[in-house]
């Protein structure tokens, strides 16, 4: 309790009247500008609490008389961004994809939109530059399972592969080993033959035996000489690029218990113009067919 | 508060008008510099269709600098470096030979200050009248003269600021846009900035800029030596100074200086040259004109204050003769540096390429295997066409056996040589795919040289990039 306010002889200031073991406290009040600024902020905060969301309740909160919400602000921003992008994308929306490709101005739009859409949607599986990963097809090379023409790419991106969509790219390889269609030694021979198709193995008696097995089981989808059949989604077995690896173990594993990748139907998430831009962008990654 | 202030009180300088060779020379240089500055943006130059018609134009928006027949691209920035070095060495050489000629006549601070002083003198009268009026009461006469002076100053300052922006945009266009309110915001900002700085620096700050703001007077002493030409006072002849008609009795007691302070009164920086060489002295020589006027009137020999060297003065004080020493190690070094600089710049300018190629290897993917087993690398190729015609460039490869190329957007088709078209005066950007079977990979990479040939002129250039294969690392 303040006892006695007195004047300090040395500094000429009043004391607060507090005293501890002979030590007295000088009264040095806050500068008035500081004090009034503080008061002003308190006054300001009252107004703030009235117009903006502030007081929490049991099952909600007082939303403020301006009804502001950060969630609404984000939604509006996202919608505005979509509208802004639409202005650009509208330019290619109704133009046939081949026409877009021949027009440098439209192609610049498609490249920009495609690059962004690719980074946002495709990159996790296909890599930043379309280089692919083991099990995920490379898009920058010239090897295509379902076709590398613009229309093929547009179709694949729109409906996906084994996506469950009615128009999805659909193909299925028999589980030759797991389901007991072929014996393990037959599978090994078939693998020896398949490896000769892309020059990784030399013709041998085992490969010759495998050729017979191949002719009986594989040509329906992979073609008479393993050149592939795009219309049924049978990948080419020739060439240097292999989705699931080109070693003997990889080929045996694929015949025994095939892996079959899935790509979603992007029409569920992207609009047609963005998909068109994506097809053009992927086509220009380096492997596009004419 | 008894500590002495670290700052000297400003003593206002009221320079008196003076006539003479130094003053005439100063007017001529002033007129030349101002004409050059204000008129140069209006000089037209024919460059051909689609090209700006302004002789000197720093087109920042399009990244071009035009100087009469020369056109510089941002890559040519080292010519600016060269020009700055040559400018600095020239300044050193001139200073070591004839003192602060730059400060005295050509420096913008000197030129505009002199111009502003001229206006002040026309409106408010000469030194004595100005001093009397400034110390007197505020009268209508004083007010209107001050107002007219400052309005005139602001007008010149505005003209100066306006001329500045004309170096950065087509002068007639930017002038029209400026008055119609359509010019870029930078035009208004920089006009305001240079109007304000001209008004403040030439109207108010004046000699304070030279004495306190400018670094040059602080270190120009290191270019001067006892053989450099400076403004000197012949103390051995003038001292002891004193008033009085120079009768034979007076001459026995006093020197030639009659202590009239004419040299002090005309000095634009307000110093007394009789105190010797000083930091504030810009070597303009107006005190020489002033003293000569007086010496003629008193019937004494002229040139008591004169351009001279310290060594010369010492010799003359001792009654000896000392020739000028123009060739000194210092000046020879500066001359050598200048000659070398000019030769390098001249050769570089004469051999300036009209073509440039830059190649950037794709970072993702580093390489791709294609069906036939060969590798493919992607590159962004930029070809600079500095000519004023659309040109076909033949792009070739060296260092990779069986290499073939394709333009990414064009799809299939591989060719050993690509022909790419680049628009006039611009940079063409192409994504080029290179196919090959590298045999000399070290750490997954080997050199690949791109060459570009202008198919019309035959001019060639090349760029060494890299071809990557298995084992490549993104960090190289």
Whole-structure pTM over 0.90, yes or no?
Answer: no
Rg of chain A in Å (alpha carbons)? 36
Q: Which of A140, A241, A290 sits opposite B412 (nearest CB)?
A: A290
Which positions in chain B touch A130 (Cβ < 8 Å)?
A: 365
The partner residue sitting opposite A140, judged by closest CB among B363, B365, B371, is B365
Quote the ipTM score. 0.70
Measured between beta carbons, the chain B residues lying within 8 angstroms of A283 are 411
3-state secondary structure A144-155: CCCCCCHHHHHH
Residue A29, helix vs strand vs coil: coil
> Where do the H-state alpha helices sit in B125-184?
127-135, 140-166, 171-180
- Chain-centre distance of CA B109, in angstroms? 13
What's the residue count for chain A? 290
CB-closest option in A127, A128, A286 to B433: A286
What residues in B contact A199, CB-CB < 8 Å? 373
* pLDDT value for B35: 96
**Of A99, A137, A108, A136, residue with least CA distance to A287:** A137
Which residue is it, tokens 């020059």?
Answer: A199
Edge-to-edge strands, sheet with B391-398: B418-422, B391-398, B445-454, B460-468
Contact across the interface for B378 and A142, Cβ inside 8 Å: no
Chain A residues closer than 8 Å to B363 by CB: 129
Across-strand partners of B461? B452
CA distance A170 to chain B (A): 24
CB contact under 8 A, A286 and B378: yes
CATH superfamily of B355-468: Immunoglobulins (2.60.40.10)
Digit-coded pLDDT (tens) for A5-31: 888 888 888 888 888 888 888 888 899
- State the pLDDT at residue B57: 94
CA angle at B318 for the pair B314 and B324, rounded to the nearest 5° = 45
**Is B309:B323 a contact under the CB 8 Å cutoff?**
no
Max Cα distance, chain A (Å): 116
pLDDT averaged per 10 residues in sequence order, chain B, 476 residues: 72 92 96 96 89 92 89 88 94 91 94 96 94 91 95 96 94 94 92 96 93 89 88 90 84 88 94 91 94 92 91 87 84 95 92 90 89 91 91 93 85 83 90 91 91 92 93 66
Nearest CA in chain B to A101: B409
Residue pair B282/B269 in contact by the 8 Å Cβ criterion: yes
Instruction: Report yes or no: A106 and A262 within 8 Å, Cβ to Cβ.
Output: no
Tokens describing residue A191? 């693998």
Burial bucket for residue A1 (CB in 10 Å: 0-12, 13-18, 19+) = exposed
Residue B151 CA: distances (Å) to CA of B47, B119, B179: 40, 11, 20
Cite the DSSP H helix spans in A165-227: 184-197, 205-217, 219-222
Q: At what angle do helices A205-217 and A184-197 cross, to 10 degrees?
A: 100
Contact B8, B24 (CB under 8 A): no
Residue A209 CB coordination number (10 Å): 17
* Domains of chain A, start order: 72-167+263-287 (1.10.760.10), 184-256 (1.10.760.10)
Domain ranges for chain B: 21-222, 230-317, 355-468
Q: What is the pLDDT of residue B476?
A: 47
Q: Identify whether the C-beta of residue A173 lies closer than 8 Å to the C-beta of residue A282.
A: no
B370 and A142 within 8 Å at the Cβ level: the answer is yes
Q: What is residue B2's predicted lDDT score, i.e. its pLDDT?
A: 59
Q: For chain A, which ranges sit under pLDDT 70?
A: 1-3
What angle do the packed helices A272-282 and A104-117 form, to 10 degrees?
100
Q: Which helix (H) or strand (E) holds B285?
A: none
């Amino acid at each position: 309790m303040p006892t006695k306010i007195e004047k300090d002889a040395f500094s000429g200031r009043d004391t607060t009247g507090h005293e501890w073991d002979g030590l007295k406290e000088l009264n040095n009040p806050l500068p008035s500008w500081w004090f009034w600024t503080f008061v002003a902020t308190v006054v300001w905060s009252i107004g703030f609490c009235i117009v903006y969301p502030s007081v929490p309740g049991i099952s909600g909160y007082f939303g403020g008389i301006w009804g502001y919400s950060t969630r609404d602000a984000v939604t509006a921003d996202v919608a505005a961004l979509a509208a802004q992008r639409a202005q650009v994308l509208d330019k290619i929306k109704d133009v046939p994809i081949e026409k877009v490709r021949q027009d440098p101005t439209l192609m610049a739009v498609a490249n920009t939109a495609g690059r962004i859409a690719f980074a946002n949607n495709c990159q996790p599986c296909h890599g930043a530059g379309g280089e692919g990963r083991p099990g995920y097809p490379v898009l920058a090379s010239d090897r295509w399972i379902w076709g590398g023409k613009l229309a093929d790419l547009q179709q694949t991106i729109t409906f996906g592969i084994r996506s469950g969509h009615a128009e999805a790219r659909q193909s299925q390889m028999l589980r030759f080993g797991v389901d007991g269609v072929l014996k393990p030694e037959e599978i090994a021979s078939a693998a020896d033959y398949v490896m000769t198709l892309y020059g990784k193995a030399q013709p041998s008696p085992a490969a010759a035996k495998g050729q017979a097995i191949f002719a009986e089981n594989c040509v329906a989808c992979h073609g008479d000489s393993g050149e592939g059949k795009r219309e049924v989604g049978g990948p080419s077995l020739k060439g240097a690029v292999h989705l699931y690896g080109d070693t003997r173990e990889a080929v045996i594993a694929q015949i025994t218990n095939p892996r079959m990748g899935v790509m979603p139907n992007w029409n569920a998430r992207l609009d047609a113009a963005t998909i068109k831009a994506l097809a053009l962008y992927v086509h220009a990654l380096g492997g596009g067919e004419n | 508060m008894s500590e002495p202030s670290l700052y000297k009180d400003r003593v206002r300088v009221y320079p008196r008008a003076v006539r003479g060779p130094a003053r005439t020379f100063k007017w001529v240089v002033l007129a030349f510099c101002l004409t050059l500055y204000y008129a140069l943006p209006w000089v037209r130059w024919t460059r051909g269709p689609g090209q700006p018609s302004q002789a000197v134009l720093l087109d920042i928006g399009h990244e071009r600098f035009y100087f009469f027949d020369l056109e510089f691209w941002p890559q040519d920035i080292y010519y600016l470096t060269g020009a700055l070095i040559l400018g600095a060495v020239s300044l050193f050489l001139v200073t070591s030979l004839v003192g602060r000629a730059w400060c005295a006549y050509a420096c913008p601070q000197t030129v505009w200050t002199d111009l502003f002083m001229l206006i002040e003198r026309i409106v408010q009268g000469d030194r004595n009248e100005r001093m009397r009026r400034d110390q007197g009461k505020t009268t209508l006469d004083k007010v209107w003269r001050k107002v007219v002076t400052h309005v005139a100053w602001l007008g010149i300052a505005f003209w100066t600021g306006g001329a500045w922006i004309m170096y950065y945009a087509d002068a007639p266009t930017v002038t029209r846009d400026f008055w119609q309110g359509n010019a870029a915001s930078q035009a208004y900002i920089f006009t305001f900035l240079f109007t304000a700085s001209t008004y403040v620096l030439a109207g108010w700050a004046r000699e304070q800029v030279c004495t306190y703001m400018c670094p040059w007077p602080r270190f120009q002493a290191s270019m001067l030596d006892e053989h450099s030409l400076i403004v000197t006072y012949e103390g051995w002849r003038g001292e002891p100074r004193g008033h009085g008609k120079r009768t034979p009795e007076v001459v026995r007691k006093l020197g030639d200086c009659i202590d009239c302070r004419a040299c002090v009164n005309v000095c634009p920086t307000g110093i007394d040259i009789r105190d010797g060489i000083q930091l504030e002295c810009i070597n303009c020589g107006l005190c020489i004109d002033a003293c000569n006027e007086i010496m003629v009137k008193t019937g004494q020999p002229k040139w008591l204050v004169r351009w001279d060297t310290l060594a010369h003065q010492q010799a003359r004080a001792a009654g000896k003769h000392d020739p000028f020493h123009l060739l000194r190690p210092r000046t020879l070094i500066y001359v050598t540096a200048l000659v070398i600089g000019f030769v390098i710049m001249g050769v570089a300018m004469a051999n300036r390429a009209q073509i440039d190629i830059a190649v950037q290897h794709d970072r993702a993917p580093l390489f791709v295997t294609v069906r036939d087993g060969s590798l493919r690398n992607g590159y962004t190729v930029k070809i600079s066409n500095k000519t004023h015609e659309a040109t076909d460039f033949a792009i070739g490869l060296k260092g990779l056996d069986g290499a073939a190329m394709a333009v990414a957007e064009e799809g299939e088709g591989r060719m050993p040589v690509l022909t790419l078209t680049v628009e006039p005066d611009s940079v063409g950007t192409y994504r080029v795919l290179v196919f090959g079977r590298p045999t000399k990979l070290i750490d997954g990479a080997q050199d690949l040289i791109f060459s570009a040939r202008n198919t019309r002129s035959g001019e060639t250039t090349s760029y060494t990039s890299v071809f990557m294969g298995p084992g490549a690392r993104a960090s190289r």
